[in-house]
Structure 1
Amino acid sequence: MLRAFRNLLRLVSIGRTLGRHGALPVELFRDSTPLLALLLRAMNRDKAPGRPGERLAAALQALGPSFIKLGQVLSIRADLVGEEVAKDLANLRDRLPAFPGADARAIIEAELERPIDLLYARFDDTAVAAASIAQVHFAETPDGCAVAVKVLRPGIEQAFQRDIDLLMWLADWALRLQPRLRRLKPLAVVETFARTVALEMDLRMEAAAASELAENFADDQTFGVPAIDWDRTAKRVMTQERVIGFSIDRLDDILAAGLSPDQLLAHAADAFFNQVFRDGFFHADMHPGNMFVTAAGRLVAVDFGIMGRIDRQTRLYLADMLIGFLNRDYDLVAKVHFDAGFVPASQDQELFKQACRSIGEPLHGRPLSDISVGRLLAQLFAVTEKFQMETQPQLLLLQKSMLTAEGMGRVLNPRVNMWELARPLITRWMIENRGLEARGADLINNMAGIAARVPALVRDLERTANMLAEGGGLRLHPESVLVLAAAREREGRRWRRLGWAALVLAAAGLAAALS
C-alpha cells in the first residue's frame, strides 16, 4: 500500500508536468478507458507548441535525468511510440546544468581513496560536458598524460531507482488496462531500461566496453578508442585518454585539415559494419558528438554507455533478410523470419511474404545509394506488427544505430550512401559467412552439436520410462512445487490489486483539479 501511495503522489506530479507540455497520452485510452481519457484530456494543455514528439521530449527533459534517459530508450521503439515521435525523441538533448567541481572532486577522492592532488597534477573544476547521468572534466596525470575524467552525478542512483520502481508499477497497470500492449512488452522495456541504466551507472562497465571495442580494432589504423586509465577508474569515476581532435560533423575543420569527407565516411561505414557483423558488439550511440576526427584523419569514438550485442545467428538472419530484399527473394525473407521464430508459426507465411513484397518492391530498380537500411528495418518492424511479431530489442537498437550512422553520413556527404562505400567489405563478409562453404560448415557444426546431445537425451528418456514403469508417475522436484504455490499466490494478489484501479482514476482526477 505504501508503494502504491508513493507512486500515486509521484504520478500526480508527473501528470501535471506532462499536461503542462500537452504530452499526456489521451488517445491511448480513448477507446478502452474513456473515463481516464476524459480526465487526461482535461489535464492536457492543447495549445502547447510543437509536434507531439517535441512536446513529449520537452516534458521528459523537465522531469529530469531518469525521464531524459527513458526518452532515449523510447527513441528506438518506433513500434511503441510511432515513427515521428521516435524521431523527435532521438533529438532529445541529453544536457543538464553541471554540478559543482568541488562535488566532483569529493566523489573522485571517495571512490579512489586518495587525495585528488596525488591522482592528478591538474584537474579542471569546470565541466566540459554535462549529461543526465555524469559529467566530464579535463585533467592531467602526474606523468603528463592529458585525460578526460567522467564522474557520476551525486545521488543519481537513488533518483533512478525511485523512477524505475514507478515505471514498473505503471507498466504493470498499463497491461491491465490495455491488454493489446502485451505484444510490445512494456514490462520488458522497463526492465531493459533498468538494466541499461544500472550498467551506465557503473563506470567500470563502460570502461570494460571501451576496452573490448579497442581490442576488436587493435590493428585498425582508421578507427580507434581512447585508452582507459584503470588506476583512476572505479564505479563512479572513469579516467580515459583525452581525444585531441574535432567532432565529425565539423566540415570546415575537416577540409582545413586537408582531409576528405568521403574517405572519413568510408572509414565510418567500415567501422560500423565490422562492429555489427564481424564482432557482434557495436557502439549504439554513434552520433557526431560521440565521433571525433584526429589531425591524422583517424576516427575516435567516445561514450560507451550504450553498446549493443548481436549473436551470430541473428547476424546471419540479418544477412539473409537483406539479401532477400535486394534480390527480390521474398520467399527467403519470409522463411528467415519464421525459421528464427520472430513471427509465430501460426501466422500465414504466404501472407507475410506478400507484406514483405510491399516493402521490397518500392526499392527495386533504385541504386543502393538511395536505400536506407535503417529505414528498411523500421518499415519491416511496422509491417510485422500485424503478424504478432514480438519485439526484438537487439534489432530495434541496431535499427536506431543504423539510422544514427546514416544521419552522420549525410552530414559528411548527402549524395553518398555509407553502405555503398562499404560494399567490398559487405560482399566479402557475405561470401565468407553465407556462401556454400560457410553453409556447409554450419550444417556440419549443427549436426555435431545434435550428436553430442544424443547420449544425454537417451539417459533422460530412460529415466522417465523407469519412473513410469514403477507406477509412481512423474515426481515433481520440490522447487517445482514451490513455483506452483507461488503462482497461485500471485494470482490471488492480482485480484486484490484490481481494487487499486479506482485509486489511479482518483489520482488523475486530483491532478486535473490541481492543474
Structure 2
Amino acid sequence: MGLIGDYRRLMRAGIALARHDVILPGAYQTRLPLPARIAGRVLRIFGGGARGRPGERLARALEKLGPAYIKLGQFLATRPDVFGAEVTQDLGRLKDKLPPFSMKAARAALAEEFGEADAARLFAELSDPVAAASIAQVHKMSLPEGERAVKILRPGIEHKLMVELSAMKRAARTIEGISAESQRLKPVAFTETIAAAMMRETDLRLEAGGADEMHEISHKSGHFVIPSVDWDRTGRRVLTIDWIDGISLTDPKALDRPGIDRKKLANDITQGFLTHAIEYGVFHADMHEGNLIITPEGKVALVDFGIIGRIGMVERRFLAEILWGFLKRDYLRVAEVHFEAGYVPASQSVGEFAQALRSIGEPVHGKPAEEVSMGRVLLQLFDYTHTFGMSLRPELVLLQKTMVQVEGVARAIDPSHNIWVASEPVVGSWIRRSFGPEGAAKLVAGNVKEITNRLKRLPEVMDRFEASLEPPAPPPPPPRRFAPWWGWFGFVAILVALGIWAAK
C-alpha cells in the first residue's frame, strides 16, 4: 500500500478507463481546462472505439477492474445529484459476477471461522457454489429443519480491497490538491466514506444484523418474505440464512406462469418498500431484480442485506409530506417542507422554488403510466439542486436511488404500473395517522424525550463553552498544495502516458 504500489494500481485503472473512453470523454471537453482537453484528445486516440453512453462505458470498465471498483460504481450510483440520473442509472446495472472459488478454499474458510471439528459438523451438507460475486459466494445446504443459504467471503478479499482503496484515497487527495473546483464535491471525504462502507461489507455479522432487523419489520408490516438468520452458523466471514425457493426476477418470462398476478406483484413491491421506509424508517437499499424472488405462494422475498437504508422520524415526516404534496399538486406546501427541512437555503425564494416544482409535477400529472417516470422526475429535481443551492442528505439520496430502482423492477413486471398511484394509499394512511391525534401525541412524547436528553448534556455543553473562552492554540501550518499549473501538467503527463501504454 506504498506510494509505488498505489500509482501502479492507479495506472492499471487508468488504462481500463482510457480503453472505455471514460477519462475526459469528448462529450465534456468544453467544461475542462485546456491541459485536460489536450489529454482527453490524446487518450481518445487510444480509446479502442468504446461505444455507448458514458455511464455504460464506465460500468464496463469498473466490472473489468474487480471488486473494489464494482463497489465504487455501486456507491457512485447513489449520487445522481453529482453525476446525473442517466450515469447513475447505468451504474445501477453493474454486473457483480465473478467465477467461484474452489470448494477446498470454502472449506478452509469455514474451518478458520468455526474450527475444523465444528465446521465439519455444522456444514456437512454444503453444496458446490450456486452463485458468486466480487465479495463472496453462496452455497446451498440441507438440514433436518430446512435448507440454508451459506454466504462465504472470498479468500483474501479484505487485503485486496484495502490495497485498492489505498490507491483510490491517494487519487482523491491528488485531485483535491490540484483542483479547487473539486473541493466542493469533497473527493477525499467521499472516498473515506466509501472505504468504510466497503470494509463493513467484509464483516458478515453486520449483514446478519441487517437481515434480522428486516425480518422483524417484515413480520410486523406483512410486506415481503425475509429469511431468518442461523446465528449458530454465522460469523465474521460466514453468513447463514434460510434458503428461499421461488422465481428470480432476473427471468421475466418465468412470470408468465399461470396463477401469477403481475399487477399485484408490482403493487406489492412498491407499497412494501414505501411502508418499510416511511412507517419503520428502515429499507432494503439494493432492490435490483437479482435480489427479489417470487415464492411459490406468490409473495415477494428479499435477499442480500449488504446495503440497508435508514431515515429518521423527522425525515420520514418531511418525505411523506413531499410525496403527498406532489400527489395532491400542492406545490407550495412541497416547497415549504423543503425549506422547513433545511434542504433549500432560507436565502432562496419559496415561491420561485414552488414554481420550479410545478414545472416538474404538472407534466406528469394524470398521464398514463408509460409516460410517468420517477427517474425523469428525480432528474429534473436534481437539475435544480445547483439552481437553488440545495443540499441533499446522503440517506435521502440513497432512498431516492432505491425508489428509481423499485420503479424499474415494478415496471418490468407490469408495464402499466404507476408508482405515484401505487404510493398514494401508503403515504395517505401514514399522513392521516402521523398528523392526527395519535401522531400528535407521539410527536409531543418525542419532543419531551429530546428536551430531557438535551438537559442531560447541559454540563458537557457548559464545559465546552468554558474551554472555548481559553486562548486558542496557534493554528497548524497550512497543508502543502500543488501549484495549479504544475499539478495539471503532471496530471496530463500521467494521462498521456496511460494512453500510450493502453495502445500497446
> What TM-score, normalized to structure 1?
0.86
> For residue 514 of structure 1, what is the aligned residue in structure 2?
501
Which residue identity is paired with 1:240?
Answer: I
Pairing of 1:115-134 with structure 2 (within 5 A): 115=117, 116-125=119-128, 127-134=129-136
Counterparts of residues 77-156 of structure 1 (less than 5 Å): 77-115=79-117, 116-125=119-128, 127-141=129-143, 143=144, 145-156=146-157
Looking at structure 2, the residues matched to 458 and 210 of structure 1 have their Cα atoms a distance apart, in angstroms, of 39
Equivalent in the alignment of 1:66: 68
- Confirm or deny: 8 A CA contact 1:21 1:56 kept in the other structure: yes
In the alignment, residue 42 of structure 1 is paired with which amino acid?
V
Cα deviations by residue, 1:97-147 (Å, 9 ceiling, x for unpaired): 11112111111111111344312231223x211111111111224x45311
Q: Letter of the aligned partner of 2:8 in structure 1?
A: L
Task: Tell me, in whole angstroms, the C-alpha distance in 2 between the residues paired with 1:456 and 1:97.
Answer: 53
> 3-state SS of the aligned residue for 1:148?
strand
How much has 1:310 moved relative to structure 2? 0.7
Checking the alignment, whether the CA contact within 8 Å between 1:184 and 1:391 is kept in structure 2 is no
CA distance in 1, matches of 2:359, 2:425: 29
The CA distance in 1 between the partners of 2:352 and 2:188, in whole Å, is: 30
- What letter is aligned with 1:39? A
In the alignment, the residues of structure 1 paired with residue 131 and residue 396 of structure 2 have an alpha-carbon distance, to the nearest angstrom, of 30
Taking the TM superposition and a 5 Å limit, the aligned residue runs for 1:472-483 are 474-475=469-470, 481=473
Residue aligned with 1:217, SS: helix
Distance 1:167 1:178, change over 3 A: same
Aligned to 2:311: 310
- Which range moved further: 417-426 or 205-214? 417-426
Q: Which residues of 2 match residues 110-509 of structure 1 at below 5 A?
A: 110-115=112-117, 116-125=119-128, 127-141=129-143, 143=144, 145-219=146-220, 223-248=224-249, 250=251, 253-256=254-257, 258-366=259-367, 371-435=372-436, 438=439, 442=443, 445-446=446-447, 449-450=450-451, 453=454, 474-475=469-470, 481=473, 485=475, 488-489=476-477, 491-494=478-481, 503-509=490-496
Partner SS for 2:138 = strand
Paired letter, 1:35: P
Change (3 A) 1:29 1:311: farther
Shift of residue 505 of structure 1?
Answer: 3.9
* 1:314 positional shift: 0.9
Confirm or deny: 8 A CA contact 1:12 1:510 kept in the other structure: no
Deviations 1:70-118 (A, max 9, x none): 1111122222222222222122111111111211111111111134431
Greater length-normalized contact order (CA 8 Å, ≥ 6 residues apart) = 2
Give the whole-Å Cα distance in 1 for the aligned partners of 2:283 and 2:242.
20
Aligned partner of 1:168: which letter?
K
Output one character per residue of 1:22-61: Cα deviation in whole Å (capped at 9) or x when no partner: 2213466765532133124312316222222221111111
Question: 2:35: which partner in 1?
Answer: 35
* Letter paired with 2:469: L
Which letter maps to 1:358?
A: S
Structure 1 Cα separation of the partners of residues 155 and 456 of structure 2: 56
**In 1, distance between residues paired with 2:410 and 2:147?**
30
Stretch moving more, 51-60 or 332-341:
332-341
Amino acid at match of 1:118: R
Change (3 A) 1:429 1:104: same
CA 1:61–1:456 in 2, change beyond 3 Å: closer, same or farther? closer
DSSP 3-state at the match of 1:335 = helix
Aligned counterparts of 1:315 and 1:394: Cα–Cα separation in 2: 11
Aligned counterpart, 1:24: 23
SS of the equivalent of 2:116 reads: coil
**Pair 1:456–1:231, CA change in 2 (3 A):** closer
- Cα 1:356–1:14 shift into 2, 3 Å: same
Task: Determine the C-alpha separation between the residues in 1 that align with 2:58 and 2:229.
Answer: 37
Question: Which secondary structure does the structure 2 equivalent of 1:218 belong to?
Answer: helix
**Distance in 2 between the 1:162 and 1:122 partners?**
35
Separation (CA, whole Å) in 2 of partners of 1:52 and 1:249 = 24
CA contact (8 A) 1:122 1:139 kept: yes
Inter-CA distance 135–378: structure 2 relative to 1 (3 Å threshold): same
Give me the whole-angstrom Cα distance separating, in 1, the residues matched to 2:42 and 2:484. Answer: 27
Q: How far 1:150 moved relative to its partner?
A: 0.6
Is the contact between residue 96 and residue 130 of structure 1 (CA under 8 Å) also seen in structure 2? yes
Q: TM-score, normalised by structure 2?
A: 0.88
Instruction: Give the aligned residue type for 1:409.
Output: A
Q: Check conservation: 2:18, 2:498, Cα contact below 8 A.
A: no
Unaligned runs of 5+ in 2: none
In structure 1, what is the Cα distance between the partners aligned to 2:314 and 2:468? 39
Task: Read off the aligned partner of 2:414 and give its amino acid letter.
Answer: N
Instruction: Report the 3-state secondary structure (helix = DSSP H, G, I; strand = E; otherwise coil) of the residue aligned with 2:141.
Output: strand
The offset of 1:459, in angstroms, is 11
Gaps in structure 1 of 5+ consecutive residues = none
Q: Give, as a single letter, the amino acid of the residue that structure 2 aligns with 1:131.
A: A
Give the Cα separation in 1 of the matches to 2:52 and 2:369: 34
CA distance in 2, matches of 1:334, 1:64: 43
- Between 1:494-503 and 1:265-274, the stretch displaced more is 494-503
Instruction: Give the deviation of 1:376 after TM superposition.
Output: 2.7
CA distance in 1, matches of 2:210, 2:318: 25
Structure 2 match to 1:11 = 10
> How far apart, CA to CA, are the structure 2 residues paired with 1:237 and 1:463?
44
One-letter amino acid matched to 2:381: L
Percent of aligned pairs with the same amino acid = 38
Question: 1:289: how far off?
Answer: 1.3
The 1:202–1:29 alpha-carbon spacing in structure 2 relative to 1, beyond 3 Å, is farther
Give the 3-state SS of the residue equivalent to 2:155 in structure 1: coil
Residue 291 of structure 1 deviates from its aligned partner by 1.1
* Structure 1 letter corresponding to 2:358: R
- Aligned Cα RMSD in Å? 3.2
Letter in structure 2 aligned against 1:22? D
Kindly provide the CA deviation profile for residues 354-388 of structure 1, in whole angstroms up to 9, marking residues without a partner as x. Answer: 32222122234446886444543332122122222
The question of 1:54 aligning with 2:41 is answered: no
Q: Please tell me whether the aligned partners of residues 335 and 350 of structure 2 are also in contact (alpha carbons under 8 angstroms).
A: yes
* Aligned 8 A contact 1:369 1:420 in 2: no
SS at match of 1:6: helix
Matched residue SS, 1:282 = strand
In structure 2, the residue corresponding to 1:303 is in which secondary structure?
Answer: coil
